[in-house]
Amino acid sequence: MAQKPSIPKGTRDFSPAEMVRRNYIFDTIKDVFRLYGFQPIETPAMENLSTLMGKYGEEGDKLLFKILNSGDFVSKVSDDVYNEKDSVKLTSQISEKGLRYDLTVPFARFVVQHQNEITFPFKRYQIQPVWRADRPQKGRYREFYQCDVDVIGSTSLLNEAELIQIIDKVFKRLKIETIVKINNRKILAGIAETIGEKERITDITVAIDKLEKIGLEKVNEELSAKGVSDEAIQKLQPILDLEGDTASKLGQLEEIISTSGVGVQGIEEMKTLFSYLEKMNLATNFELDLTLARGLNYYTGAIIEVKAKDVEMGSICGGGRYDDLTGIFGLKDVSGVGVSFGAERIYDVLTQLDLFPPESTETTKVLFVNFGEKEEAYCLPMLSKLRASGINAEIYPDSAKMKKQMNYANKKDIPFVVLAGESEMAAQKFTLKNMESGEQTLVTSEDLIKILS
Amino acid sequence: MAQKPSIPKGTRDFSPAEMVRRNYIFDTIKDVFRLYGFQPIETPAMENLSTLMGKYGEEGDKLLFKILNSGDFVSKVSDDVYNEKDSVKLTSQISEKGLRYDLTVPFARFVVQHQNEITFPFKRYQIQPVWRADRPQKGRYREFYQCDVDVIGSTSLLNEAELIQIIDKVFKRLKIETIVKINNRKILAGIAETIGEKERITDITVAIDKLEKIGLEKVNEELSAKGVSDEAIQKLQPILDLEGDTASKLGQLEEIISTSGVGVQGIEEMKTLFSYLEKMNLATNFELDLTLARGLNYYTGAIIEVKAKDVEMGSICGGGRYDDLTGIFGLKDVSGVGVSFGAERIYDVLTQLDLFPPESTETTKVLFVNFGEKEEAYCLPMLSKLRASGINAEIYPDSAKMKKQMNYANKKDIPFVVLAGESEMAAQKFTLKNMESGEQTLVTSEDLIKILS
Does residue B370 sit in helix, strand or coil?
Answer: coil
Task: Find the closest chain A residue to B13 by CA distance.
Answer: A43
Contact B99 A37 (CB under 8 A): no
| Mean pLDDT score across all residues of chain A | 93
Which residue(s) pair with A382 in the sheet? none
Rounded to whole angstroms, the Cα distance separating A230 from A251 reads 25
Interchain pair A41, B16: CB under 8 A = yes
SS3 content of chain B, % helix, strand, coil (to 5): 45, 20, 35
Q: Is the pLDDT of residue A55 over 60?
A: yes
- Please give the Cα distance from B165 to B157 (Å, whole number): 12
pLDDT value of position B214? 87
Residue A42 pairs in a beta bridge with: B14
Per residue in B271-329, pLDDT (tens digit) is 999 999 999 999 999 999 988 876 666 789 999 999 999 898 889 999 999 988 898 89
Q: Which of A158-162, A301-305, B219-223 is the least confident region?
A: B219-223
Mean of the pLDDT values across residues A1-10? 80
- Over residues A325-370, the pLDDT tens digits come to 898 899 998 999 999 999 999 999 999 999 999 877 778 999 999 9
For the annotated binding site of B for L-histidine, the residues are 102-104, 132, 146, 150, 294, 298-299
A34 contacts B392? CB cut-off 8 A:
yes
How many angstroms separate the CA of residue A212 from the nearest CA in chain B? 38
Averaged in consecutive runs of 10 residues, what is the pLDDT profile of chain B (453 residues)?
Answer: 80 96 97 96 97 90 96 94 94 97 95 95 97 90 97 96 98 97 94 91 80 86 89 88 88 94 96 95 92 76 95 92 89 94 95 90 91 96 96 96 96 96 97 96 97 95
Buried b vs exposed e over A391-404: b needs ≥16 C-beta within 10 Å? bbbbbbbbebeeee
CB atoms within 10 A of CB B233: 20
Q: What would the pLDDT profile of A250-282 be if each residue is shown by its tens digit?
A: 999 999 999 999 999 999 999 999 999 999 999
Q: Indicate the SS3 state at residue A297.
A: coil
pLDDT more than 70, % of chain A: 98
Contact residues, A window 113-172, toward B, CB-based 8 Å cutoff: 113-114, 117, 119, 121, 123-124, 129, 131, 133, 142-143, 151, 154-156, 158-159, 162, 165, 169
Judge whether B46 is closer than 8 Å to chain A, CB to CB.
yes
- What is the C-alpha to C-alpha distance for residues A324 and A335, in angstroms, rounded to an integer? 6
Flag whether pLDDT at A48 surpasses 80: yes
Domain annotation for chain A: domains and CATH numbers: 9-174+318-348 (3.30.930.10), 178-309 (3.30.930.10), 362-452 (3.40.50.800)
Say if the Cβ atoms of A329 and B113 lie within 8 Å: no
pLDDT value, residue A1: 46
Residues making up the annotated binding site of B are: 102-104, 132, 146, 150, 294, 298-299
CA A107 to chain centre: 15
Residue A373 phi, psi (nearest 5) = -60, -50
Q: Contacts of residue B156 in chain A, CB cutoff 8 Å?
A: 397-398
Predicted TM-score of the model (pTM): 0.93
Q: A402 at the B interface (CB within 8 A)?
A: no
A102 is an annotated ligand-binding site residue: yes
- Of residues A19, A48, A68, nearest to B91 (C-beta): A68
Residue A142, SS3 per DSSP? coil
A166: amino acid identity, one letter: I
What SS3 string covers B280-343?
CCCCCEEEECCCCCCCCCCCCCEEEEEEECCCCCCCCEEEEEECCCCHHHCCCCCCEEEEEECH
Segment of A22-31, A244-253, A294-303, B247-256 carrying the highest mean pLDDT = A22-31
Q: What's the confidence (pLDDT) of residue B1?
A: 46
Helix axes B373-388, A158-173, angle to 10 degrees: 20
B97 and A CB contact within 8 Å: yes
Which of A20, A65, A408 to substitute to test the interface with B, most B CBs within 10 Å?
Answer: A65
| 3-class DSSP assignment, residue A56 | coil
* ipTM of the modeled complex: 0.93
| B45 closest CA partner among B132, B112, B129, B118 | B129
Burial, A351: exposed, middle or buried (Cβ in 10 Å; 0-12, 13-18, 19+)?
Answer: exposed
Q: Does the pLDDT of residue A212 top 90, yes or no? A: no
In angstroms, the CA B407 to CA A109 distance is: 24
pLDDT band of A295, cuts 50, 70, 90: low
Distances in whole angstroms, Cα of residue B34 to Cα of each of A20, A393, A452, B121, B277:
11, 8, 15, 15, 20
Do the strands A440-443 and A430-434 form a parallel or antiparallel pair, or are they unpaired? Answer: antiparallel
CB contact under 8 A, A67 and B72: no
The contacts found for B378-384 with CB under 8 angstroms, 24 or more apart, are: B378/B420, B378/B424, B378/B425, B379/B418, B379/B420, B380/A276, B380/A279, B380/A280, B381/A279, B382/B418, B382/B420, B382/B430, B382/B445, B382/B448, B384/A165, B384/A280, B384/A281
Q: How far apart are the first and last CA of chain B?
A: 49
- Please give the Cα distance from B452 to B430 (Å, whole number): 13
Partner residue opposite A6 with nearest CB, options B113, B328, B377: B113
pLDDT of residue B358: 85
A294 is in an annotated binding site: yes
